[in-house]
A and B are shown apart, each in its own frame.
Chain A
Amino acid sequence: MSIASTANPPRVGAAVEPAAHEDRTAFSFLLVAGLFFVVSGLVAIIIAAKLQMPTLLGNVSWLTYGRLRPIHTNGMLFGWLLAADMGLCYYLVPRLCGVKLWSEKLGLATLALWIVIILGAVVTLAMGMNQGLEYAELPLWLDVLVTLAWVMFGVNIFGTIATRKYTQMYVSLWYIMAAILWTAFVYIVGNFGTLFTSGVNQANLNWFYVHNAVGLIFTPLGLALGYYYIPKAAETPLYSHRLSMIGFWSLAFVYVWTGAHHMLHGPISQWLQTVAILFSVMLMIPVWTLVWNFLATMKGQWHQLQDNVPIKFLMAGTVFYLLTCFQGPMHSLRTVNAIVSKTDWIVGHAHMAVLGAFSFFAVAGAYYSVPRMLGTRLHSQKMANASFWLWLIGGLSFFVSLWIGGFLQGLQWNDPSIPFIDTVKFMAPFWTVRLLGGTLMFVGILLFFWNLLMTYTGRHERPAVS
C-alpha cells in the first residue's frame, strides 16, 4: 500500500534517516490523563448523587456542589481530555512527519507544568477561589501557567512539523496545528479578555469562549485523532484526503462565529444572534464531509466491529459526533432554542460531545497507541471490550434521559402556570437514570485506567507480536 515514497518524495534538506520514537512524553501524558479521568469521574458521581440527595456531604464546605462542579468540569476538560489529546498528539505528529519529537525533555517539562496546573486548580477551586465564569473559573495565575504550558506544547509540535520529511501534510496535522493556534486565541479571550468587560459584553465573550472551548479546541483535536486512528485501526486508507481538506477549511471559516447562539432571546443585538444562527447551521458542511469520510473509510470493513475495540470506540464516537452536531445547529434556531435553552437538554448535548464523541476518540487512541508505545500487547482485550459496553450503555442512558427530561422541562418553563419547584421535582427520575448511567461510565473509566496501568507494569511479560 505504500505508494507514498514514490508519489511524495522527501523534502529537500529534511532528515532522511528513519527516526525512533521514544514516546515517553506521549505515554506519561496519557497515564496522567487517565488518572485525572478517574478523579474527575468520581467527582461527577458525587455531584450527580447530590441531585438525588441534596444534603449529601453538605456540611463540608469544600465538598459542596458549588465547589465540586467546577472541579468536575475543569478536571474532565483539562485534566482528562486535553491532556489525553496532547499525549496522543505527541504520539502521532512525529509519526506523520517521519521524524522524532522535537524535544522529549520539553514535552516532559510541559507535563510537569500541566500536573502543577491541575493540582492547583483542584486546590483553589476546593477552597472556593472562583472567578465565576463558566470554564474560566481558575484564578489568574493558573491561567498564566496554562498559557505558558500551551506555548511549550505548541513549540514542540510546530518544531516537529517544521522538520517533517514530506511537504504535503496529512489532514490530522492541519487539525492539530489549527487547534494549537485556535486554543491560544480562544483561551486568551475567555480568560483574560473577559477581565476587561462586564455585563452583557462579558457574557458574550464568555459564551464565545465556552462554545469554542468545545468547537475550536476539542473538536479539531478530536477530529485529528479520528482521521488518524480510523484508518490505522482498521488498516485501510482514508476514503478521501481531498474531502477531508474541504471539511477542515470549511470548519476553519464557520466555527468561530457560533458562540452567540447561547444568548438567543437575550439582551444582545439581533444581528449578532442571526449571525450566530447562520453560521451554526453552516456547520453542517464540515460535519457531513467528515462523517461521510469516516463512514466511507469503513466500507468493506464493518466486520471489524466484532472484535476491534478501537474501531468500536471510533465508530460509536462518530455517531455521537453526528448526533451532537445535528443537535447543535437545530437548537440554535430561535423556535427550538426557546424550548431547550438552559435546560438539561443542553447538559445532555454537551456531555455527548465531550464524553461521547471526543472522549471515545481519545480512548480509542489510547487503546491503539499505548501497546505500540511500550512494545507490548494490551493487558486485557476483554476488559477493554467491557469498558466500551459500559460507556455505550451508560452514556446512552445518560444522554437520552437528559434530552427527554430537558425537552419536557423546557415546555414546562414556557408554561407560566406551572410553579418552578414543580419543574425541579419533575426532573428527579431523569436525574436518577443519569446517576445510574454515569455510574456505569465510571466503572468503564476504572477499567480503562487499570488496563493502561497493567499494560505498563506487565509490558515485559507480553512482547508485541509483529
Chain B
Amino acid sequence: MDYSYPSVFWMYSLMGLFVTGALFFLWRAIRSGAVANDEAPKYRMLDDDLPADHPAESRR
C-alpha cells in the first residue's frame, strides 16, 4: 500500500482546517467590532504610554 497520499492529504486537511478557522475568526471579529472600518487605533496607539507614577503591582 502506498502510504504517501494519506499523510499528504492529512497534512493539507489540517491546513484546510486552519483556513476554515481563519475565516471563522474573521467573521467573529467583524461581528464583535474587533475588526472595523475605522482608523482610530492608529491614532490611539501613539498615546499609549502611561504616566510612570502609577501603582506598580500587576493583576496576578
Task: Say yes or no: is A185 at the interface (Cβ < 8 Å to chain B).
Answer: yes
Tell me which of A30-38, A166-174, A399-407 binds B. A166-174
Closest 5 CB pairs of A and B: A4-B44, A20-B54, A103-B60, A170-B41, A7-B40
Question: Known pairs A168-B41, A252-B22. 18 more at Cβ < 8 A?
Answer: A2-B44, A3-B40, A7-B40, A8-B40, A20-B51, A21-B50, A22-B57, A95-B49, A102-B58, A102-B59, A103-B59, A168-B33, A168-B35, A168-B40, A201-B8, A232-B45, A253-B19, A256-B19
B26 to A, closest residue via Cβ: A249
Chain B residues whose C-beta falls within 8 Å of the C-beta of A18 in the assembled complex: 50-51, 54
Task: Tell me the complex Cα distance, A171–B8, Å.
Answer: 33
Asked whether B46 lies within 8 Å of A237 as measured between CB atoms, the reply is yes
Please give the distance in Å from A367's CB to the nearest CB on chain B: 16
Asked whether B54 lies within 8 Å of A272 as measured between CB atoms, the reply is no
Asked whether B58 lies within 8 Å of A101 as measured between CB atoms, the reply is yes
Task: Tell me the complex Cα distance, A301–B37, Å.
Answer: 26
Instruction: List, sorted by A's number, 22 A–B pairs whose CB atoms are closer than 8 Å.
Output: A1-B47, A2-B47, A3-B43, A4-B41, A4-B44, A7-B38, A8-B40, A20-B52, A22-B57, A95-B48, A100-B59, A102-B59, A103-B59, A163-B59, A166-B44, A168-B34, A168-B40, A201-B4, A201-B8, A232-B45, A252-B22, A372-B49
What range describes how many residues of A lie at the interface? 35 or more
Task: Say yes or no: is A257 at the interface (Cβ < 8 Å to chain B).
Answer: yes
Chain A residues whose C-beta falls within 8 Å of the C-beta of B36 in the assembled complex: 167-168
Chain B residues whose C-beta falls within 8 Å of the C-beta of A105 in the assembled complex: 58, 60
Asked whether A204 lies within 8 Å of B8 as measured between CB atoms, the reply is yes
Please give the distance in Å from B41's CB to the nearest CB on chain A: 4
Task: Tell me the complex Cα distance, A47–B32, Å.
Answer: 51
What range describes how many residues of B lie at the interface? 35 or more
A-B contacts, CB under 8 A, total: 134
Residues of B that sit less than 8 Å from A by CB: 3-4, 7-8, 11, 14-15, 18-19, 22, 26, 32-60
Task: Say yes or no: is A19 at the interface (Cβ < 8 Å to chain B).
Answer: yes
Chain A residues whose C-beta falls within 8 Å of the C-beta of B57 in the assembled complex: 22
Residues of A that sit less than 8 Å from B by CB: 1-5, 7-8, 18-22, 95-96, 98, 100-106, 163, 166-172, 185, 189, 197, 200-201, 204-205, 208, 228, 231-232, 235, 237-238, 240-242, 245, 249, 252-253, 256-257, 268-269, 272, 372, 375
Please give the distance in Å from A23's CB to the nearest CB on chain B: 10
Asked whether B47 lies within 8 Å of A4 as measured between CB atoms, the reply is yes
B33 to A, closest residue via Cβ: A167
B32 to A, closest residue via Cβ: A167
Please give the distance in Å from A209's CB to the nearest CB on chain B: 11
Task: Tell me the complex Cα distance, A3–B43, Å.
Answer: 7
Please give the distance in Å from A411's CB to the nearest CB on chain B: 32
Contact (A20, B59) CB under 8 Å given A166-B44, A201-B4: no
Please give the distance in Å from B40's CB to the nearest CB on chain A: 4
Asked whether B11 lies within 8 Å of A20 as measured between CB atoms, the reply is no
Chain B residues whose C-beta falls within 8 Å of the C-beta of A170 in the assembled complex: 41-42, 44-45
Asked whether B41 lies within 8 Å of A241 as measured between CB atoms, the reply is yes
Task: Tell me the complex Cα distance, A204–B48, Å.
Answer: 44
Please give the distance in Å from B54's CB to the nearest CB on chain A: 3
Find B41's partner among A8, A21, A22, A200 (CB 8 Å cutoff). A8
Asked whether B7 lies within 8 Å of A197 as measured between CB atoms, the reply is yes
A92 to B, closest residue via Cβ: B48
Asked whether B44 lies within 8 Å of A256 as measured between CB atoms, the reply is no
A106 to B, closest residue via Cβ: B60
Asked whether B60 lies within 8 Å of A169 as measured between CB atoms, the reply is no
Task: Tell me the complex Cα distance, A285–B52, Å.
Answer: 41
Asked whether A200 lies within 8 Å of B39 as measured between CB atoms, the reply is no
Contact (A242, B39) CB under 8 Å given A2-B47, A201-B3: yes
Task: Tell me the complex Cα distance, A253–B22, Å.
Answer: 7
